[in-house]
C-alpha cells in the first residue's frame, strides 16, 4: 500500500497517516513496524532488488540456452515492471530520497543483477553466437534494462496487450539487434 501512496503523492508528499489509512491500520500500529516513512521506502527498494536478483538467478540457472535465457530475463523484467507499476514508479523516481548507505547497497544489488545479465550474454560466445561488431556488454545490458524498465511509464493494465506479450515483443526486438550483427563475436565487459 505504501508503494501505491508514494506513487500517487511522491515520497515527500506522503505522510505516515496516509500510508496507515491506505493500509487499513492505525498510525500507532504502522509505527510499531516502521519508525518512519524512510524505513518503508528502504524496505520497498530492498524488496524490489532482492526479488529481481532471485528471479534473474533462477532464470540464468534454469534456462540452458543463453539466447532463451536472455529472452526470459528481459521478458521477466518487463512483466515484473508491468505487474508492479506503482512500486517501480517509486523505485525509479524516488531514488534520491534514499539514505546514502542504502544507495551504496542498492548500487551493489544493481551490479549483481546486471552481472547476471552479462553472464548470460557472455554465455552466447560459448554457444557460438556470432556478431559482426564487438558488443559492449554493459551498454547492451543497460539498453535491455532501460527498455524493460521504462514500461512503468506507459503500460496500461486495461490495454490490449498483456505484460507477457509486451515482454516477449521487447525481448524479441532487443535480441534481433544481436542477431543482426552476425559474424565474429567479441564482447567487452
Output the tens digit of pLDDT for each of the chain's 189 residues.
899 999 999 999 999 999 999 999 999 999 999 999 999 999 999 999 999 999 999 999 999 999 999 999 999 999 999 999 999 999 888 888 888 888 888 889 999 999 999 999 888 866 666 555 677 889 999 999 999 999 999 999 999 999 999 999 999 999 987 766 653 444 454
Question: Nearest 5°: CA angle at 12, between 10 and 14?
Answer: 65
Residue 77: all three cell numbers together: 523484467
List, in sequence order, every residue forming a beta bridge with 187; answer none if it has no partner: 135
Q: Which CATH number fits domain 38-188: 3.20.20.105, 3.40.50.300, 1.10.357.10, 2.40.128.720?
A: 1.10.357.10
Closest CA to 87 of 49, 54, 37: 49
DSSP state of 77: H
Could you identify the residue written with the cell 500510508?
Answer: 19
Alpha-carbon gap, residue 158 to 80, rounded angstroms: 16
In terms of C-beta density within 10 A (0-12 exposed, 13-18 middle, 19 or more buried), how is residue 167 classed? buried
* Cα four-point dihedral sign 153, 158, 162, 165: negative
Q: What is the pTM of this model?
A: 0.85
Alpha-carbon gap, residue 91 to 6, rounded angstroms: 10
Alpha-carbon gap, residue 49 to 184, rounded angstroms: 35
pLDDT at 102: 82
Amino acid at each position: 500500500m505504501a508503494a501505491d501512496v508514494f506513487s500517487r503523492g511522491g515520497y515527500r508528499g506522503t505522510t505516515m497517516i496516509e500510508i496507515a489509512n491506505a493500509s487499513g491500520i492505525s498510525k500507532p500500529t504502522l509505527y510499531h513496524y516502521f519508525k518512519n516513512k524512510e524505513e518503508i521506502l528502504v524496505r520497498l527498494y530492498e524488496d524490489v532488488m532482492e526479488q529481481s536478483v532471485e528471479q534473474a538467478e533462477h532464470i540464468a540457472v534454469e534456462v540452458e540456452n543463453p539466447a532463451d535465457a536472455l529472452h526470459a530475463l528481459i521478458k521477466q523484467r518487463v512483466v515484473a515492471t508491468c505487474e508492479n507499476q506503482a512500486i517501480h514508479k517509486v523505485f525509479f523516481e524516488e531514488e534520491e530520497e534514499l539514505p546514502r548507505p542504502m544507495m551504496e547497497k542498492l548500487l551493489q544489488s544493481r551490479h549483481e543483477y546486471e552481472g547476471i545479465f552479462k553472464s548470460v550474454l557472455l554465455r552466447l560466445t560459448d554457444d557460438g553466437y556470432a556478431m559482426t561488431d564487438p558488443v559492449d556488454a554493459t551498454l547492451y545490458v543497460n539498453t535491455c534494462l532501460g527498455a524493460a524498465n521504462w514500461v512503468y511509464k506507459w503500460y496500461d493494465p486495461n490495454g490490449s496487450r498483456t505484460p507477457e506479450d509486451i515482454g516477449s515483443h521487447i525481448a524479441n526486438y532487443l535480441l534481433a539487434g544481436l542477431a543482426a550483427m552476425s559474424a565474429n563475436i567479441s564482447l567487452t565487459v
